[in-house]
Structure formats: structure tokens, C-alpha cells
Amino acid sequence: MIKQKKNGNLIVISGTTCAGKGTVIDTLLERNPDLALSISYTSRPIRDGETNGKEYYFISKDEFEEKIKNGDFLEYAKSHREDYYGTPKKEVQEMLDKGKDVVLEINVDGAKYVKEMFPEVLLIFIMAPSMEEVKRRIKERGKESPKQIIERFKSAYREINEIPQYNYVVINDKVENAVDKIEAILKASKCQVDRIEEISVESEEEILHEFLIGEDFDNKPMSERIEEKSNEN
């Protein structure tokens, strides 16, 4: 009766600093091998232990800027170190056309650009239970100076102000719980009305409709009406 669209869902997952979104996404992908994670391009140098095409597609700055000119990215950004990062448009579209659900791990600015190109995108924002917990996680890592910690907090508050543009917010108090919630969101998204491509009505349902709303209520049994309709055809 209902025919759903065959193309996959585009899912953007963002989050504040130290919200644990990377761990949440890794666990989500482990539990759902049918999900595809989009691999971004970057102009930064490859690091020890990384593989081209796994963590990122590593290209030169000139190559990246050429791709920008050609409109090859859904979104892109430049880091404070002047390194480019971008989501490939062609690869994402190909996976969606094959019916794959595609996950993008990008920041709030990138999410805005993606939403402009894919209004039907599913936007999920990951948060830590509290800013006090964010502070604890930052200190636990022990990699940032006091100045850097302040900058991270400023960035986190700015990102939180962008939450209204998202469809869902998931609190990452425990990774497994957060993944459970995201899986429930993805299942519900498959039932959205805009996923419907076509609605057809079977002949017996049409007859029932005629019987209920028609003016000729002659009290004929439904079985007799169905037989009459079949004979007409």
C-alpha cells in the first residue's frame, strides 16, 4: 500500500567539545554495519598510523582549493592551523542513491551548509551531561593550556546556541545509552511521511470506501459487493 523512497538518509552528527561524539559514532557504526561513514578530505599532512582513504583522503592544499572551485564539497572549513577539511559531495550522493544511510561527523557551521543542500537531512547534536563534566574531561586529557581550555569553553557555548537548527539532542551520559537513542531516532526516521514515494489502494479497500460513503446503502453484504465489482472489471 505504501512505497517508500529507496534512497538512503543523510545523517549529520555534531557535538560540543569533549561530548564524546567520536566514540558514540564509532560504537554506532560497530553496532550498525549497514551505516556508512563519509570520509572527509583534508589538506593536513598524514600522521603516523593513518591510512589514506581510511581516516581521511589526504591531498595537497592546491588540490583542495581546486576542488572548492569545482564545487566538489558539500561543506568545508579551515582549521586554526590553516588546514582544510571537507565533505565530498559526489561520494555521499552515490552512497545515498544506492540506499545507504550516510553519517557525517561535522561541526555546526558545516551542518548549516549541508542543510541548505539537503533540506531533508537528519541533524543530531551530542552533548555532555553538563559543562562541569566537559571541564573534567578536558582536564583529564591534560593536553590544553588554561588559555586553550577557555577557548574550548567559548566554542562549546557558541555551538550550544546553534542547537535549535537540529532535529534531536542526545545527552552522552553513557555511550551505550546515547547510541540506543540514536538508533531509535534512525528507526523512527524511516517512518517519516516525507519518506513515502507512493500510496496505492487495493481494490477491496476501494469497494469498502464506496460502501461507507456512497449514497446507495442497499444493505448488500460486502462479499456480494466485491463480487459485483469484480464482474464489472
Q: Mind listing the domains of the chain with CATH numbers?
A: 1-35+103-200 (3.40.50.300), 38-100 (3.30.63.10), 202-232 (no CATH)
Highest mean pLDDT among 96-105, 153-162, 200-209: 96-105
pLDDT for position 139: 77
Asked whether residue 124 carries a pLDDT value surpassing 90, the answer given is yes
CA proximity to 118, closest of 163, 87, 81: 87
Cell of 44: 593536513
pLDDT for position 89: 94
Cell of 68: 572548492
Determine the distance from the C-alpha atom of residue 216 to the mean position of all C-alpha atoms in its chain, rounded to a whole number: 51
Return the minimum-mean-pLDDT range out of 27-31, 155-159, 182-186: 155-159
pLDDT for position 98: 93
The model carries a pTM of 0.78
Q: Determine whether 190 is exposed, middle or buried from the number of CB atoms within 10 Å of its CB (0-12, 13-18, 19+).
A: exposed
Cell of 102: 550516510
Between 207 and 103, name the one with better pLDDT: 103
Asked whether residue 194 carries a pLDDT value surpassing 60, the answer given is yes
Q: Are 153 and 108 in contact (CB under 8 A)?
A: no
Produce one character per residue of 138-161: b if its CB has 16 or more CB atoms within 10 Å, e if not: beeeeeeeeeebeebbeebeebee
Average pLDDT over every residue of 183-198: 81
Coil vs helix vs strand at 32: coil
Average pLDDT over every residue of 71-76: 94
Alpha helices by DSSP H, listed for the chain, are: 21-31, 61-69, 89-97, 108-117, 131-141, 146-160, 175-189, 203-213, 222-232
pLDDT in tens, 141-182: 777 778 877 887 888 888 899 999 999 999 999 999 999 999
Q: Are 96 and 84 in contact (CB under 8 A)?
A: no
Produce one character per residue of 98-115: b if its CB has 16 or more CB atoms within 10 Å, e if not: eebbbbbbbbbebbebbb
CA proximity to 96, closest of 198, 30, 7, 158: 7
